[in-house]
Structure 1
Amino acid sequence: MTKVFYLMRHGQTRFNEQGRIQGASDSPLTDLGIQQAQAAQAYFQENQIIFSKVYASTQERACDTAEIASGRSDYIRLKGLKEQDFGAFEGHQEYLNPHLFLDGSGYRDYFVAYGGEDNVSVYKRMEETLTAIMEEATSDDTVLVVSHGAAIGQFNANVAHNQLKRKSRFTNCCILKIAYADGKFEVLSGFNPVTSESLFEEE
């Protein structure tokens, strides 16, 4: 039995606007971030996508985005959906980030020495959490999950089967439509509701 869900990044935050490393830390949505979440809500409404279940990471920026985009306040908060922890680097400027590997391994284990997480820990907890969500869901459920840039990127690169050629980054409030069947995930499409553009060339 195939089930489908939507995996979405949160809206722009104060740290995003200031170019700061955020991770396990938190900062509120900016006015633009709220507008981005509202654009996602409009996209769902225009496509008659009504969610029966909504999940978000425990971080404020994801919770607020989930509430705006879905129009619901009864969402479920899960720690497994949190952003990667960047340890002592958090709150500092993004230009201090190390080299980003383009093979899907992100920053690998660089941040472990500074009290943060490695990429494997991130995508494994995302896989475990999303699997639990979808195992509980029925085929009639329409599910929204709101998470974070690095966490979604690691899940997409290392867990989900994705044959689509990406043409843009997973910017704030981008949405992936994902199928789940027999313990496996496959990315079906991706959309940026802010720019009204597909994330992938094949769509």
Structure 2
Amino acid sequence: MSEKTTLYIVRHGKTMFNTLGRAQGWSDTPLTPFGEEGIHELGAGLKAENIPFKAAFSSDSGRTIQTMDIIMEHLEYPNIPYLREKRIREWCFGSMDGGFDGELFDGILPRTDAYKGKDLDNLSFEDIARGIMEIDTAGWAEPWEKIKDRIYTGFEDIAHKLHTDGGGNALIVSHGMTIATFCHLVHPENPRVRGLDNGSVTIVSYDGEQFTVENAGLMKYREIGRKRLAK
């Protein structure tokens, strides 16, 4: 009998740009010492819970790779397969990539046609994508159809491969907006997931056809690890 297929999706550790309040899409900065500390807590917490991971995946961004390396130090799985999947990268903010969050999300985007007449708290991901494309002078930003396709198929292919191999648990490191987008695509009727913390864990199960978001943004593994490391 196959095991249940479950994805443990981690948001990478806190980076330099996260700390400085800059939009970090396809641009990249390393984890800060504080960010590394948080992921050490996460790794220790996952180890303490004895979750048996069969495979590991991250985006191809340096911050997710660094996060995975730290977690692996704690899990001590020398033979676990680890692959990088570029489809689960963060959104690209085009010419505003690396700009200040406040300038992008509170200044420029609210003045776009995509945002006009809409409550900022109830914007859809499609609205946000349209707004980013509207202000992107470099032509790098992705349309919503491309964003949702690459993110969903990236996670779907990971889950399907694991499921056909008998199921089990996959450890995945990705990005805040990417994880929130995936949760929305799985359950579009639910409110948009917001503010996923660095080092949080979102748990998604897969039955071979459909996904279910079981928990979003869990911090309990970091809390368990923090206590374990303090002993």
TM-score bucket (shorter structure)? 0.7 to 0.9
Distance in 2, matches of 1:64 and 1:148, equals 13
Match of 1:177 in 2: 203
* Structure showing greater Rg: 2
Distance in 2, matches of 1:12 and 1:64, equals 11
Equivalent residue in structure 1 for 2:52, among 50, 54, 64? 50
2:155 is the alignment partner of 1:130: yes
Using the TM superposition, name which of 49-58 and 71-80 deviates more.
71-80
107 and 165 in structure 1: CA distance in 2 versus 1, 3 angstrom threshold: closer
Match of 2:36 in 1: 34
How many positions carry a matched residue from both structures?
195
Where 2:206 maps in the other structure, the secondary structure is strand
Distance in 2, matches of 1:165 and 1:104, equals 10
2:88 is the alignment partner of 1:81: yes
Q: CA deviation at 1:14?
A: 0.4
Q: CA deviation at 1:172?
A: 0.6
Structure 2: which 5+ residue stretches go unaligned?
111-119, 225-231
Distance in 2, matches of 1:136 and 1:67, equals 22
Q: What does the per-residue CA deviation read over 1:124-159, in whole Å, with 9 as the maximum and x for residues that have no partner?
A: 2111011111111133432011110111111111x2
Distance in 2, matches of 1:143 and 1:48, equals 13
TM-score by length of 1: 0.85
2:130 is the alignment partner of 1:109: yes
Q: CA deviation at 1:180?
A: 0.7
Distance in 1, matches of 2:18 and 2:148, equals 22
Distance in 2, matches of 1:102 and 1:17, equals 26
Q: CA deviation at 1:164?
A: 7.9
Distance in 2, matches of 1:4 and 1:90, equals 32
Is the Cα contact below 8 Å between 1:108 and 1:120 reproduced in 2? no
Distance in 2, matches of 1:76 and 1:25, equals 21
13 and 125 in structure 1: CA distance in 2 versus 1, 3 angstrom threshold: same
Q: What does the per-residue CA deviation read over 1:52-110, in whole Å, with 9 as the maximum and x for residues that have no partner?
A: 20000000000111121233685211110111000010111111222455354261311
Q: CA deviation at 1:31?
A: 0.7
101 and 88 in structure 1: CA distance in 2 versus 1, 3 angstrom threshold: farther
Match of 1:146 in 2: 173
Is the Cα contact below 8 Å between 2:180 and 2:194 reproduced in 1? no
Where 2:180 maps in the other structure, the secondary structure is helix
Is the Cα contact below 8 Å between 1:41 and 1:69 reproduced in 2? yes
TM-score by length of 2: 0.75
Which structure is richer in relative contact order (CA contacts within 8 A, separation 6 or more)? 2
Q: CA deviation at 1:3?
A: 1.3
Paired-residue identity, %: 25
Distance in 2, matches of 1:56 and 1:167, equals 20
Match of 1:199 in 2: none
Structure with a larger share of its residues in helix: 2
Structure 1: which 5+ residue stretches go unaligned?
197-203
Q: CA deviation at 1:35?
A: 1.1
119 and 39 in structure 1: CA distance in 2 versus 1, 3 angstrom threshold: farther
